[in-house]
Amino acid sequence: MTNQNLYAVLEKNFPKDRSKVCLYLPDGSTCSYEELDQKAAQVANLLKNKGVKKGDRVAMQTGKCPTSVFLYLGCLRAGAAFLPLNTAYTDKELAYFFDNAQPAVIVCVPDRADGIASVIEFEPKPEILTLTVNEDSHDVGSLPEAMLAQPTSFETEVLTNDDLACILYTSGTTGRSKGAMISHANLSTNAQALHDIWHWSNDDHLIHALPVFHVHGLFVALNTMLIAGASCHFLNKFDPNEVLDLMARSTVMMGVPTFYTRLMAEDRLTAEQTASMRLFISGSAPMLEETHAQFTKKTGHRILERYGMTEAGMITSNPYEGDRIPGTVGFALPDVSVRVADTQGNELPHCEVGILEITGPNVFLGYWEMPEKTAEEFRPDGYFITGDMATSDDKGRISIVGRGKDLIISGGYNVYPKEIELCLDDMEGVLETAVIGLPHPDFGEGVAAVVVPLPNSKGSFTEADVMAHAKKDLASFKVPKRIYIIDQLPRNTMGKVQKNIMRDQYKEAFS
């Protein structure tokens, strides 16, 4: 049987000469493919020695550093399910994920270890390992320390297509997060498809400035770079000036629309500065047609916009050759089928607006421990209901025209209003709240909350109090950047809160 382990698939495509650099790091140091393989082996050996078995969860909440990549690859090699978590999550948010996924091992930065230990309520208690980067840019902590004693070779676990590779949490319209179970084949087929349609080669050099705890930075960027045997500048965070410097030595960049709007504010973004680049890719949130046009005007490059989601990786892409049409997200990836359907799942004629449904090797296995949620989001014929409103033209080109789900996308991060509303509703003196997304020049959408006090609590709290309450429990990117305290929410005759009226009323909030 061919080993379907994603690591085995990636490894087959590693360069013959493994001394080739894979990661170029901000301090000028590098990591070769040989080193990557050995460090991933050390992680896998360590996990096995700690009794981690196939399918056991290994959670990571750390900053971006080479060891975070070794940990990801080591989990794949050992057959453990990697569970990356946004560094902004608070202890309260983590408590939910840990309780739900019950990881065997948690890797975190040292100053979060006590807080994390205090929220663990399940047995057996997970082992907590630490990882951070010191002032000399070295990865330190109990994880890198323990890796040192481990052998540098490891026989990668033989797995089948449907074996679990990762769990990524995605919030839901009910406010309750769901762990999307992603298989080895979901990832390898998606990486191979992106490699092919975006014409990757081992000469490519990627600018990697995305976080590695979401699909975009972890799978779309890293897996595709690795399956090509290519290399990347592995940056801790997005800094437009650093990225502009690197463009002279790179060929591909991937980013959320905020990366592009921030780059465009720089005078150094010119055709000369980007001359060696062959491909700029955008996704995770809609890019304004105006951003596409201005970027082309400044650089001569046409940004390639693609569309995807946690549950399915990449779904559609504008073509590498041929028209890249702003406002559209292109065609279904090879082997992926898409249809625009009515609320019953019946396919609609071209150009009619409906919900996008998809099927293919990229579609996830289901939600962790939530079979009823999984069933709700699949049609009997196997199509997954994305919740995105779309149209399809007669050639199959897809445009995302809105969201059927109540979702805000801020700088590429998803924020589900219900989760924020539940948090604010808990505040003393609050009767009810409505959370909305408003146009934001930097983040695309910014989070705002409309708050109604109880009749006897009017004047008892301020906008700043509401923000402080939210900050206690919610990741910072979810905290509303504007608060409006009003007497009552607008409702229609059926009593339903009319968010569209509030979105219109406060639309200038961030302009």
Which residues here bind ligand AMP, judged by CB under 6 A? 170, 215, 283-286, 305, 307-310, 329, 386, 388, 400, 403, 409, 414
With respect to ligand MCA, which residue has the nearer C-beta, 170 or 359?
170
CB 400 to ligand AMP: min, Å: 4
Which among ligand MCA, ligand AMP, none contacts residue 286 (Cβ within 5 to 8 A by kind)? ligand AMP
The full DSSP string for 449-511 is: EEEEE-GGGTTSS-HHHHHHHHHHHS-GGGS-SEEEE-S---B-TT--B-HHHHHHHTTTTT-
- What single DSSP character describes residue 227? H
Which among ligand AMP, ligand MCA, none contacts residue 411 (Cβ within 5 to 8 A by kind)? ligand MCA
Which among ligand AMP, ligand MCA, none contacts residue 386 (Cβ within 5 to 8 A by kind)? ligand AMP
Q: Kindly indicate which of the ranges 29-37, 197-205, 274-282, 407-415 contains the residues binding ligand MCA, using the contact rule CB under 6 A.
A: 407-415
For position 362 contacting ligand MCA by CB under 6 A, the verdict is: no
Angle at 115 between CA 110 and CA 117, to 5 degrees: 90
CB 240 to ligand MCA: min, Å: 10
E runs forming strands in 175-221: 178-183, 205-208
E runs forming strands in 187-324: 205-208, 231-234, 252-255, 279-282, 304-309, 313-317
The SS3 call for residue 222 is helix
With respect to ligand MCA, which residue has the nearer C-beta, 10 or 309?
309
For position 210 contacting ligand MCA by CB under 6 A, the verdict is: yes
How many other β-carbons are positioned within 10 Å of the β-carbon of residue 279?
A: 19
Q: In this chain, which residue has its C-beta nearest to ligand MCA?
A: 411
CB 326 to ligand AMP: min, Å: 11
Cα–Cα dist 199/320, whole Å: 8
For helices 66-78 and 33-49, the axis angle rounded to 10 degrees is 60
Answer yes or no: are the C-beta atoms of 41 and 220 closer than 8 Å.
no
With respect to ligand AMP, which residue has the nearer C-beta, 362 or 386?
386
Pick from 141, 217, 354, 453 the residue near ligand MCA by CB under 6 A: 217
How many other β-carbons are positioned within 10 Å of the β-carbon of residue 383?
A: 21
CB 314 to ligand MCA: min, Å: 7
With respect to ligand AMP, which residue has the nearer C-beta, 102 or 282?
282
For position 476 contacting ligand MCA by CB under 6 A, the verdict is: yes
For helices 257-264 and 240-247, the axis angle rounded to 10 degrees is 80
Q: Kindly indicate which of the ranges 178-186, 368-376, 410-418, 451-459 contains the residues binding ligand MCA, using the contact rule CB under 6 A.
A: 410-418
The SS3 call for residue 207 is strand
How many other β-carbons are positioned within 10 Å of the β-carbon of residue 372?
A: 7
**Per-position x/- string for 428-457, each x denoting binding to ligand MCA as judged by CB under 6 A, each - no binding:** ---------------x--------------
Alpha carbon distances (Å) from 296 to 299, 402, 454 = 5, 25, 52
Can you read off the two tokens belonging to residue 367?
A: 């939600």
For position 310 contacting ligand MCA by CB under 6 A, the verdict is: yes
With respect to ligand MCA, which residue has the nearer C-beta, 18 or 482?
482
Site residue total, ligand MCA (CB under 6 A): 22
Residues in the chain: 511
Which among ligand MCA, ligand AMP, none contacts residue 254 (Cβ within 5 to 8 A by kind)? none
For position 212 contacting ligand MCA by CB under 6 A, the verdict is: no
Residues 64-103 close enough to bind ligand MCA by CB under 6 A: none
Which among ligand MCA, ligand AMP, none contacts residue 258 (Cβ within 5 to 8 A by kind)? ligand MCA
For position 413 contacting ligand MCA by CB under 6 A, the verdict is: yes
For position 308 contacting ligand MCA by CB under 6 A, the verdict is: yes
With respect to ligand MCA, which residue has the nearer C-beta, 105 or 436?
436
Backbone torsions φ then ψ of 242, nearest 5 degrees: -65, -40
For position 190 contacting ligand MCA by CB under 6 A, the verdict is: no
Answer yes or no: are the C-beta atoms of 363 and 384 closer than 8 Å.
yes
Backbone torsions φ then ψ of 430, nearest 5 degrees: -95, 130
Pick from 47, 71, 309, 363 the residue near ligand MCA by CB under 6 A: 309
CB 213 to ligand MCA: min, Å: 8
For position 416 contacting ligand MCA by CB under 6 A, the verdict is: no
Answer yes or no: are the C-beta atoms of 440 and 410 closer than 8 Å.
yes
Sign (positive/negative) of CA torsion 362, 367, 372, 376?
negative
Site of tokens 């005078």: 267
With respect to ligand AMP, which residue has the nearer C-beta, 308 or 480?
308
Which among ligand MCA, ligand AMP, none contacts residue 500 (Cβ within 5 to 8 A by kind)? none
Residues 237-296 close enough to bind ligand MCA by CB under 6 A: 237-238, 256, 258, 283-284
Residue 293: which H helix or E strand, with range?
helix 289-299
For position 477 contacting ligand MCA by CB under 6 A, the verdict is: yes
Cα–Cα dist 23/40, whole Å: 14
Residues that bind ligand MCA (CB under 6 A): 210-211, 214-217, 237-238, 256, 258, 283-284, 308-310, 410-413, 443, 476-477
